[in-house]
Amino acid sequence: MPFLFVNTAGRLTLKLDGAITIRHAQSFAAKLSEGAEGDVPTRVDTEGLTDIDTCILQLLCSLRKTCPALRFENPSEIFVGAVDRCSLRRELLGSQGEL
């Protein structure tokens, strides 16, 4: 799987690695709904990302609405490029200032 959830010390890390596409959307959405909680600080790691579909970005937008403690730490160029192509910078990265 190109995604992994790690819960340590009251903090959730979502690691996106390789290519995560529509093929993974259903299982990704299921994991998001069971793994993410609104009040748990959640970090998204996109360092190893090589490709991401719009549907996955939409799921991350949905996660942002339910998890205000969501943070994209050091987003990769691939991730930022996809976010910008889909005009989702404000929705996903807006509160993090300029990248």
Catalogue all structural domains in the chain, each as residue range(s) with its CATH number.
Answer: 3-96 (3.30.750.24)
b/e per residue 38-70 (b: at least 16 CB within 10 A): eeeebbbbbeebeebbebbbebbeebbeebeeb
What the block records as the tokens of 23 is 């093929």
0.85 cut: is pTM over it? yes
Q: pLDDT value at position 99?
A: 47
CA distance 46 to 74: 8
Encode the chain (99 residues) as per-residue pLDDT tens digits.
Answer: 899 998 888 888 999 999 999 999 999 999 888 766 667 889 999 999 999 999 999 999 999 888 878 899 889 999 999 999 999 999 999 855 444
CA distance 13 to 98: 22
Tell me which H or E stretch contains 57: helix 54-66
